Amino acid sequence: MLVANRGEIAVRVIRACRTAGLESVAVYSDADREARHVALADAAVGIGPAPAEDSYLSIPKLLEAAKTSGCDAVHPGYGFLSENADFARAVEAAGLVWIGPPADAMEAMGSKISARKRMMAAGVPVVPGALIAGSKEDEDEEKISLNGEEARARAAVRRAAPRPPATSGTFEEVPSSVLSLGFPVVVKASAGGGGKGMRIVTSPSDLSEAINSCRREALAAFGNSTVYVEKYLPNPRHIEVQILGDTHGNVVALGERECSLQRRHQKVVEECPSPAVTPELRARLCKAAVEAARAVGYVSAGTVEFLLEPSGAFWFLEMNTRLQVEHPVTEEAFSVDLVALQLSIAAGSRLPELPAAPAFHAIEARVYAEDPDAGFLPQAGRLLVWVEPSGPGVRVDSGVISGQAVDVHYDPMLAKIVATGRTREEARSRLVVALRETVALGVATNLSWLGRLLESDPVVRGETHTGLLETLRLPAPARPSDEVFAAAASVLSRPASAVPGSTKSSWSGPFDTPFRMGGGA
Ligand code: ADP
């Protein structure tokens, strides 16, 4: 199987191949020659220069790599081409098995506007929104997404709303369908993802400028300038449902993930189950997610995202037609292997009997090469020392090894640290310890920040929402752990030639010279 990705997800998929008895072929750009996924795979094929457009995003190069290495199947991981229907079609046209959903389902969910329409037609509640052209479709959208009482309340707001002043830009006035939502609203790119191409607008007079700048950003980032407007819900929770479909028409949901801890609309900590979801709410969320997946003939693993309001009302946000970064928390809480299930679905097997409810609680923290003290600026450089934590209930999905370069061309996520326990508190405290015991030297990381976040009151209590990190103040970083000092001392005491990256040395780890630990900095 060709693993058309890099980093921790490539490592994760290669491991699943091993378990399934499949041979794996890694691909690598010039910047990734010495990367962990390359060393781990049974074979590896170079696919060109570091920029992703010239390597990991190049369909011809990936197909060529699959051909020359004799692969039968392609797993896209997440990111890169994983949600690209053209890639899925090209893989199948080349006679290879695509480990993912049908291209048509990817396309139906790929545009947020088209996904919203499909969901409304399937009776799934959708975040109230409006197209901005003032077309007939807007009206339909609004009617379907609001229940009677809400529609009446919004109509009252619309009547009371002052006529907005004309502004420069391409919009002379704010469409009534947007006004009826009430402010704030969020302007979104239909093709958007990764938190990009979103503008929160608090007043009608700022709308046209937001629409125009969102269009420019969407065109540059996604090659598509279509934007639309949604009601911006005040501090909801982000709750998503893992679904699996097989080629025999079976679709099941594997509970929810709580992903409300976000920075700039990007998840940083995720857990399963959500502390806010009761069995009754879980049943309703899972039912809506299964309906969403069935509506597009979904096969393989996918995620249906919702925003949950304190009232218990939830609204469809979007569907991700791939494996999700945070899939390990579902795996740990439900004791399943989602990549193995993707493989057996692709081989035509029926879904096995799966647990109806999570038996454990799992929490994941995303470790990034970024500097929390410098506005979370992504960091590049050489990761001199990387030591992973271990212990009961601790899982690390990582794509790095000591000495590896962290390249500016790619996502700065180094690893995901996942802790599992019988209770949420057991999982949380295990994760705090695991983060403290992780050693990353050479580039700044968010490890200490994550530890402090997981110790903060709202997170301890499970009282999170998507706006929390904008206002939460964390205490100053504590002194680094003894493991960090020991690793640093070990590196500093060695001749420069033995430091990884400077030569191909026989250097193997940070603890091969004994050091007395403790005693302060
Ligand atoms: P992307 O595809 O870029 O990830 P999403 O539509 O999935 O964008 O939204 C990402 C995050 O942005 C959500 O988890 C939530 O925190 C916030 N968000 C998006 N839409 C809304 C909304 N209508 N109201 C409140 N928050 C929203």
Specify the CATH superfamily of domain 237-471.
ATP-grasp fold, B domain (3.30.470.20)
Contact 317 CB / ligand 1 (< 6 Å):
yes
Contact 233 CB / ligand 1 (< 6 Å):
yes
Contact 113 CB / ligand 1 (< 6 Å):
no
Question: What is d(CA 213, CA 15) in angstroms, rounded to the nearest whole number?
Answer: 43
Top mutation candidate among 265, 319, 320, 468 for ligand 1, by most atoms within 8 Å of CB: 265
Average pLDDT, stretch 209-227? 91
Strand partners, 269: 261, 365
Residue (of 14, 8, 62) closest to 40 by Cα position: 14
Residue (of 50, 51, 86, 59) closest to 2 by Cα position: 59
Residue 66 C-alpha from the chain's centroid: 26
- Could you tell me the pLDDT band of residue 509, with boundaries at 50, 70 and 90? low
pLDDT in tens, 47-89: 999 999 999 999 999 999 999 999 999 999 999 999 999 999 9
For residue 188, which atom of ligand 1 is closest to its CA?
6
Residue 394, number of CB atoms within 10 A of its CB? 19
Domain residue ranges in the chain: 2-99, 128-231, 237-471
Q: Which residue has the tokens 């900095």?
A: 521
**Contact by Cβ (8 Å): 296, 452:** no
Contact 184 CB / ligand 1 (< 6 Å):
no
For the cut 90, the answer to whether the pLDDT of residue 169 exceeds it is no
Among 169-183, 189-203, 298-312, 319-333, the least confident range:
169-183
Ramachandran bin of 376, using left for φ above 0, alpha for ψ from -120 to 50, beta for the remaining angles: left
Q: How far is the CA of 196 from the centre of ligand 1 (A)?
A: 10
Question: What is d(CA 64, CA 46) in angstroms, rounded to the nearest whole number?
Answer: 11
Q: Which residues of 139-171 are buried (b: 16+ CB within 10 A; e: fewer)?
A: eebbebbbeeeeeeebeeeeeebeebeebeeeb
Average pLDDT, stretch 423-437? 97
Residue 517, number of CB atoms within 10 A of its CB? 11
Top mutation candidate among 113, 127, 238 for ligand 1, by most atoms within 8 Å of CB: 238
Q: How far is the CA of 49 from the centre of ligand 1 (A)?
A: 33
For the cut 70, the answer to whether the pLDDT of residue 497 exceeds it is no
Give pLDDT, residue 173: 61
Residue (of 27, 69, 78) closest to 48 by Cα position: 27
Top mutation candidate among 314, 466, 470 for ligand 1, by most atoms within 8 Å of CB: 466
Contact 267 CB / ligand 1 (< 6 Å):
no
> Which residue's CA lies nearest to atom 1 of ligand 1?
193
Q: How far is the CA of 439 from the centre of ligand 1 (A)?
A: 32
DSSP H or E run through 66: helix 59-68
For the cut 80, the answer to whether the pLDDT of residue 495 exceeds it is no
> Which residue's CA lies nearest to atom 17 of ligand 1?
265
Contact 238 CB / ligand 1 (< 6 Å):
yes
Mean pLDDT score of the chain? 89
Contact 110 CB / ligand 1 (< 6 Å):
no
For the cut 50, the answer to whether the pLDDT of residue 135 exceeds it is no
Task: Please state at what angle helix 447-454 crosses helix 424-437, rounded to 10 degrees.
Answer: 160
Contacts of 82 (CB under 8 A, 6+ apart): 5, 76, 100, 322, 323
Q: What are phi and psi of 132, to 5 degrees?
A: -100, 0
Give pLDDT, residue 374: 94
Top mutation candidate among 141, 307, 308, 326 for ligand 1, by most atoms within 8 Å of CB: 307
Average pLDDT, stretch 303-321? 97
pLDDT in tens, 342-359: 999 999 999 999 999 999
Question: What is d(CA 474, CA 487) in angstroms, rounded to the nearest whole number?
Answer: 26
- Tell how strand 314-320 and strand 405-406 pair up: unpaired
Amino acid type, 354: L
Name the percent of the chain lying above pLDDT 70: 87
For the cut 50, the answer to whether the pLDDT of residue 156 exceeds it is no
- Could you tell me the pLDDT band of residue 518, with boundaries at 50, 70 and 90? low
> Which residue's CA lies nearest to atom 6 of ligand 1?
317
Question: What is d(CA 303, CA 293) in angstroms, rounded to the nearest whole number?
Answer: 9
Q: Do domains 2-99 and 128-231 have the same CATH topology?
A: no
> Which residue's CA lies nearest to atom 23 of ligand 1?
232
Q: Which CATH number fits domain 2-99: 3.40.50.1820, 3.40.50.150, 3.40.50.1400, 3.40.50.20?
A: 3.40.50.20
Contacts of 514 (CB under 8 A, 6+ apart): none
The CA–CA distances, whole Å, from 491 to 181, 182, 404, 497 equal 58, 58, 15, 11
Indicate the class that CATH gives domain 128-231.
alpha beta
Helices (H) and strands (E) in the chain, counts: 18, 23
Contact 464 CB / ligand 1 (< 6 Å):
no
Residues 89/91/93/94 CA torsion (nearest 10 deg):
170
**Contact by Cβ (8 Å): 380, 465:** no
Contact 123 CB / ligand 1 (< 6 Å):
no
Q: Which residue has the tokens 């500016």?
A: 408
Give pLDDT, residue 512: 52
Among 17-31, 181-195, 238-252, the least confident range:
181-195
